[in-house]
A and B are shown apart, each in its own frame.
Chain A
Amino acid sequence: MGDVEKGKKIFVQKCVQCHTVENTGKHKTGPNLHTLFGRKTSKVSGLLCTDANENKGITWGEDTLMEYLENPPKYIHGTKIIFAGIKKGERVSLIAYLKKITNE
């Protein structure tokens, strides 16, 4: 349902500073998102990951991302992500893009 192309633009606009999505992408301030879907919030080797994300024990999928990306500091207390949140329509597109790109 989301517009994958629009999602890509949103990713460049708001996410790319801290995240990569490619298979070989490195971790930046935030983790590489290539294996995002289905991944449990968990330790990622080599990073001081957000303790808060880790302890919440959720699995990333469309529903959890919809909630998280609306307002990250609210969803997972103490998360290190600096982010004012994304509006609903844009979230749908962003998640569609993330789903597509992380499957390639």
Chain B
Amino acid sequence: MTSWQPGRILFLLALLLTSAHGISSNLEECLVLQSPEGSTVSCHRVTKFPSPLPADTVHLSVEFSNLTELPARALERCQRLRELHLSSNRLQELSSGLLTPVSGLRVLDLTHNELRGLPLGLFRASAALHTLVLRANQLQNVSALWLWGLRSLEHLDLAENELRVLPDGLVLSLISLSTLDLGYNLLETLPTSLLMGPRRLQRLHLEGNRLRRLGFGMLALQPFLRVLFLNDNRLTEVVPSAFQSLRELDMLDLSNNSLSSTPPGLWASLGRPARDMQDGFDLSHNPWVCNEDLQDLYRWLRANKHKMFSKNDTRCEGPEALRGRRLLDVAELESL
């Protein structure tokens, strides 16, 4: 439970009003709240990184502030910091020692900045970090070495960057990783070793890339995967064994691709009769050719239609006679 002290807030608000034209940023332009755990400091549209920070700061938020850099010793004073939110600034690089003082840090949010890379050793003291968000930066490549030290990391978000190619073993050291988000990059292929490392990856986001083909090896490394987003790519081919190992999959999104057919055997381990997918699947907005090659898919659809998203947007592109028909309707007719 949190508590806040009305007197302190009013005092700070009064200061804020009277210092509305302040030129240099200091702590008085930020909102500071007390709780039994420590201080929460929240700064919006400040011109400089706040200082001095209370020694008991546990949650620090400096967002929407156009900051282009941080002082190298910015966090030296707040060694009890648990969460650091720096979204929507203009940070281009971070100093290697920035996080050394805050070994208890759990969350680092760097969404919407201009980072092109991370310095080696940035996370050398970050064994407690469980969430790292680098979404919407300018990363054109990423190195497994940057991520060294993150043995507790559960959530890694690299979405909305400019990644074209991923290195082998990107997440090799991230043994606790549960969610990997690589959505909305420029990925055309994926290394087979991509998912090597985490003991039990649960969620993989690959939507919004330029993938053309889904092979076997990569997903086989993570048989406990529960959620897989592959929508909005350029998939024309999925090999028959692609989903073979995924016996716990609850959500599969293949919408908005270029699939005209899927091979027999692809669906064997997913959904009924094996087990219901808890959330469902989406095959919509693909150019399905509804001929005899789809028999296996029709059979699977009939057994799993209760988990099918976007039924009305899942239609045949061909042959001409069936163009525009709902895939599910064709599947049900086939059983008669």
Query: A residues within 8 Å of B by Cβ?
Result: 5-6, 8-9, 12-13, 17, 43, 45, 48-49, 51-52, 54-55, 73-74, 77-78, 80, 82, 84
Do residues B111 and A80 form an inter-chain contact, with CB atoms below 8 A?
no
* Contact (Cβ within 8 A) B63 A73: yes
Shortest CB–CB separation between residue B281 and chain A, in angstroms?
10
Give A51 to B131 CA distance when docked, in angstroms.
20
* Alpha-carbon gap, A101 to B133, bound state (A): 29
Contact A51 B33 (CB under 8 A): yes
- Count of CB-CB pairs between chains A and B under 8 Å: 77
Q: Per-residue CB proximity of B178-206 to A under 8 Å, as 1/0?
A: 01000000000000000000000001010
B107 touches A51 (CB 8 A): no
A73: contacting residue among B1, B61, B83, B136, CB under 8 A: B61
CA distance A82 to B279 in the complex (A): 23
- Of the stretches B35-43, B144-152, B257-265, B317-325, the one at the interface is B35-43
- The reply to whether A45 and B40 contact each other, CB–CB distance below 8 Å, is no
With A17-B155, A51-B33, A54-B2 given, is the CB distance from A84 to B136 under 8 Å? yes
Contacts of A54 in B (CB 8 A): 2
CA A55 – CA B13 in complex, angstroms? 13
Q: Is the Cβ of A84 less than 8 Å from the Cβ of B279?
A: no
Task: Convert B104-142 into 0s and 1s, putting 1 for each residue whose CB lies closer than 8 angstroms to a CB of A.
Answer: 000101011000000000000000000101011000000
Contacts of A48 in B (CB 8 A): 1-2, 35, 37
Number of B interface residues at 8 Å Cβ cutoff, please give it.
41
A to B CB contacts below 8 Å, 6 in the list: A6-B310, A13-B229, A17-B155, A48-B35, A54-B2, A78-B85
A55, A73, A78 pick with most chain B CB within 10 angstroms: A78
Decide if A77 touches B33 in the complex (CB within 8 Å).
Answer: no
On chain A, the residues within 8 Å of B83 by CB distance are 80
Contacts of A45 in B (CB 8 A): 1
B44 and A84 contacting across the interface, CB-CB below 8 Å: no
Q: Which 10 A-B pairs have the closest CB atoms?
A: A78-B42, A51-B33, A78-B61, A82-B109, A12-B279, A77-B42, A51-B2, A73-B63, A77-B44, A84-B111
Contacting residues, chain A, for B309 (C-beta < 8 A): 5-6, 8-9
Complex-state Cα separation, A41 to B59, whole angstroms: 19
Residue B160 lies at the interface, judged by CB distance under 8 Å to chain A: yes
Q: Which residue of B lies closest to A45 (CB)?
A: B1
Residues of B within 8 A of A77 (CB): 31, 42, 44, 61
> Contact at A12–B227, with CB atoms within 8 Å?
yes
Contacts of A13 in B (CB 8 A): 205, 207, 229, 253
Report B49-72 residues with CB < 8 Å from chain A CB: 59, 61, 63-64
Say yes or no: is B173 at the interface (Cβ < 8 Å to chain A). Answer: no
Residues of B contacting A49 with CB < 8 Å?
Answer: 2
B83: nearest chain-A partner, CB-CB: A80
Contact B63 A9 (CB under 8 A): no
A24 CB to nearest B CB, Å: 15
Q: What residues of B have a CB within 8 angstroms of the CB of A84 in the complex?
A: 87, 111-112, 135-136, 160
Q: Check B131 against A78 for contact (C-beta < 8 Å).
A: no
In the complex, what residues of B have CB within 8 A of residue A43's CB?
A: 1-2
Q: How far is the CA of A6 from the CA of B284 in the complex (A)?
A: 12
Q: Which residue of A lies closest to B2 (CB)?
A: A51
Residues of A within 8 Å of B310, CB to CB, are: 5-6
Residue of B nearest to A71 (CB): B88
Interface residue from A5, A12, A17, A73 paired with B85 (Cβ < 8 Å): A73
- Nearest neighbor of B61 in chain A, beta-carbon distance: A78
- Contact flag A55-B4 (CB < 8 Å), given A74-B64, A84-B160: yes
From 72 to 93 in chain B, residues with beta carbon under 8 angstroms from any chain A beta carbon are 83, 85, 87-88
